[in-house]
Structure 1
């Protein structure tokens, strides 16, 4: 990698009148604009070994095994642009068999050499994965940030619609993703993004708006499962870059809604329409940079039952993802939607919902960008400890919403901590899956576990919001909830 000063001089010298007339190198400008991301990812781009075992992670920087490009043609169903030479000959001999899938899931040590530059796009791939993470998740966050405008009394309904179609995509992904090329999936995702924004913004009735939310859910899930698997085929640095980009998506999504609806005082229709005209185009352009012109074909895996058994064996990591997402989304859709700080008025509830989720996204941004700080992913015990603490925060916020014990603006600090825990489990959980065996299958399974937690949390959120509305004497809950003497008792 070139020094930062040399990179800046090279870019500056090219920005002349002639360059502007002929077109400036987009890669150089993009790398310059995201220089701070490049510094955080640089450590993950160097040659290194990753060793995975049951509770054991080691790295050997002294050894080096080259990654050779595949000699197969794009028509070959097992074509892989990153043919990794395994150090363990026995593991290489059984790599594509169902037996190796189960052995890897049971904790059999596996060493994989990873080196930047093995693929012709790998050197710049982390920057594009960062941008794709931002764009892919920004559409979902914009819908969540607009939930109070779509259905003020049933925020969890919007959350359910925003995750239901995505859950179906991720549940079926391990069984059909290898039949459809990456670039075709991403094109369908971009078209769904356009339709989702237009329906949510211009729909005259609530069912049409919810249909737009559902299309965005489909797009976000299809893009996430596809790009996570594709990032694992490049190197671990791309997974960290993707996670950091999704963290920025939270800030951008809530900032987008605030800018258009609060600062500029535009309607929600204008907010969604501008997104429909800009974000999908950038999404398509960025996705072409990571799929390339050679049309990367997914790797064919085992049978239906072999894939299912392999996915179930990943529970030590996917279980933590499920718990942390259940806790934080029950907070967002049920508890925070019913809190009005410092007074339980409609305006204060809307403001608290916006600012609490915005600060939550700040915490997510910081923790999802922490991948390069850990040479090896933290253990599963660490993931479960963070997920358990998130469940404790859910209970504390629910009690506070009912008793108003801590009903001051300072409670927003706790929202940042919720984001730190959720983002940390996300990035390090997927890092563990990406360096294990068969990451193209393991990554969608991890995404499925997270979405399953979100769906269950949103169902619970409907009843949590209704119960807290009843306790605080607020009408308009989407689910009727009457507990005799509940309001007086609290």
Structure 2
């Protein structure tokens, strides 16, 4: 071990319990708000996908149905295109971040600036490419923030991982609900995006004001040598090759999470838009937005549940999510569900599975991986959901086109 290495070392066993940390609430609260702000823009862009596409298309859904009563009500471009713009930049950033120096303050400042820029670009877009560029920039912001915050959590109480996860779940509910509500109140897309600039500002406040600075203990060479056996498996990973070799130990965390998110977003961006109830009081666009709200409520509930109920078998959640794919695929083709309420229940269940897989994966890592390697491990595993989401986006586009080419299906009962 090098003489200038810094590690966090647990205090020796003492007959007296450690003093209660009365300011722990600051770290827990900060991480909840950071999870909220980091994922908020990502969620809003997915909730707005239907509208972002529609505002730059000359033909409306109603025009299409007027021309051909047997045609399905489909946009020319799948919301999967928005998903790809919303996830690919994030995935690329997440692949690079673990191998870069850990300049936490610079990374967070960059994430905040990109988040604000994304809202402004989408709000003031006059062409489809400008709106998509805004989505790309927002995605990059989220991609920088998630691995950075989760890596930084290794310096704090382990429960900040659960509050972070709860905050990201809160972003889903607050993001989708705020967007759907503002649009229902006839607030323009530009004004909606300007209102949402409050979240990058809140992210800066949470990180630099509310969150405490971690205490890192520098050790002398003699002290390090005396504790070398105790921390042999806790040595920080050095060099690109050593990190690559370590990645194979993370597959039990990465693969189940990637599968859950692949099935989940295959539904959300490939099939949600194609499932609609013709005689509902809500328009097709409104149904899409409220499906997203319902889904995010499920995500929020499950991401906030880890301190109450812990799940180890993430593989089982992937199986259940695959069953949900089968339901939504057949529903999008045949329109056999008699009432929208049944679909809303399935959407809620889908969100519960996705959020549960996320929070239980990272909570297990905070318990099972030693602090010295946890920072790199957290940053790497954040990629796994992005791989699943990206693959879902690519497959959602041809699936969307294939279903749209089918004759329209009609329901006989809605309520």
Q: Give TM class, smaller chain.
A: 0.7 to 0.9
Deviations 1:277-309 (Å, cap 9, x if unpaired)? x11111101011466467989x96322122112
**Equivalent in the alignment of 1:443:** 378
Q: Quote how far apart the aligned CAs of 1:250 are.
A: 0.8
CA 1:79–1:86: 2 relative to 1, 3 Å: same
1:442-461 residue pairs with structure 2 within 5 A?
Answer: 442-461=377-396
SS of aligned partner of 2:405:
helix
CA root-mean-square deviation: 2.6
SS of aligned partner of 2:311:
coil
Match of 1:403 among 334, 355, 359: 334
Is the contact made by 1:129 and 1:241 (CA closer than 8 Å) also made in structure 2? yes
**Equivalent in the alignment of 1:269:** 190
**Equivalent in the alignment of 2:169:** 247
Is the contact made by 2:27 and 2:211 (CA closer than 8 Å) also made in structure 1? no
Q: Quote how far apart the aligned CAs of 1:181 are.
A: 2.0
- Farther-moved stretch of structure 1 (223-232 vs 235-244): 223-232
Q: Distance in 2 between matches of 1:446 and 1:84?
A: 25
The TM-score, its normalising length taken from structure 2, stands at 0.81
Number of residue pairs aligned between Structure 1 and Structure 2: 361
Matched, 1:284 2:196: no
Q: Distance in 2 between matches of 1:117 and 1:144?
A: 42
**Equivalent in the alignment of 1:428:** 360
1:147-226 residue pairs with structure 2 within 5 A?
Answer: 147-152=49-54, 153=75, 154-176=78-100, 179-226=101-148
Q: Distance in 1 between matches of 2:164 and 2:19?
A: 16
SS of aligned partner of 2:9:
coil
Deviations 1:373-403 (Å, cap 9, x if unpaired)? 14xx532xx1100111101101111011101
SS of aligned partner of 1:124:
helix
1:103-142 residue pairs with structure 2 within 5 A?
Answer: 122-142=24-44
Deviations 1:37-68 (Å, cap 9, x if unpaired)? xxxxxxxxxxxxxxxxxxxxxxxxxxxxxxxx
Higher-RCO chain (CA-CA 8 Å, sequence separation at least 6): 2
Is the contact made by 1:329 and 1:457 (CA closer than 8 Å) also made in structure 2? yes
Q: Quote how far apart the aligned CAs of 1:169 are.
A: 0.8
CA 1:236–1:116: 2 relative to 1, 3 Å: farther
Q: Quote how far apart the aligned CAs of 1:329 are.
A: 0.3
Is the contact made by 2:27 and 2:212 (CA closer than 8 Å) also made in structure 1? no
**Structure 1 unmatched ranges of 5 or more:** 1-71, 88-113, 475-490
1:304-343 residue pairs with structure 2 within 5 A?
Answer: 304-342=240-278
SS of aligned partner of 2:237:
coil
**Equivalent in the alignment of 2:67:** none
Q: Quote how far apart the aligned CAs of 1:116 are.
A: 8.7
CA 1:294–1:421: 2 relative to 1, 3 Å: closer
Is the contact made by 1:132 and 1:242 (CA closer than 8 Å) also made in structure 2? yes
1:73-84 residue pairs with structure 2 within 5 A?
Answer: 78-80=5-7, 82-84=8-10
CA 1:243–1:341: 2 relative to 1, 3 Å: same
Q: Distance in 2 between matches of 1:472 and 1:444?
A: 46
Matched, 1:378 2:378: no
CA 1:463–1:372: 2 relative to 1, 3 Å: same
Q: Quote how far apart the aligned CAs of 1:405 are.
A: 1.1
SS of aligned partner of 1:236:
coil
Is the contact made by 1:182 and 1:291 (CA closer than 8 Å) also made in structure 2? no
Q: Distance in 2 between matches of 1:131 and 1:394?
A: 32
CA 1:343–1:309: 2 relative to 1, 3 Å: farther
Is the contact made by 1:342 and 1:408 (CA closer than 8 Å) also made in structure 2? no
1:334-373 residue pairs with structure 2 within 5 A?
Answer: 334-342=270-278, 348-373=283-308
**Equivalent in the alignment of 2:228:** none
**Structure 2 unmatched ranges of 5 or more:** 55-74, 218-234, 410-415
Is the contact made by 1:145 and 1:257 (CA closer than 8 Å) also made in structure 2? yes
Q: Distance in 1 between matches of 2:270 and 2:43?
A: 17
Q: Distance in 2 between matches of 1:457 and 1:147?
A: 15
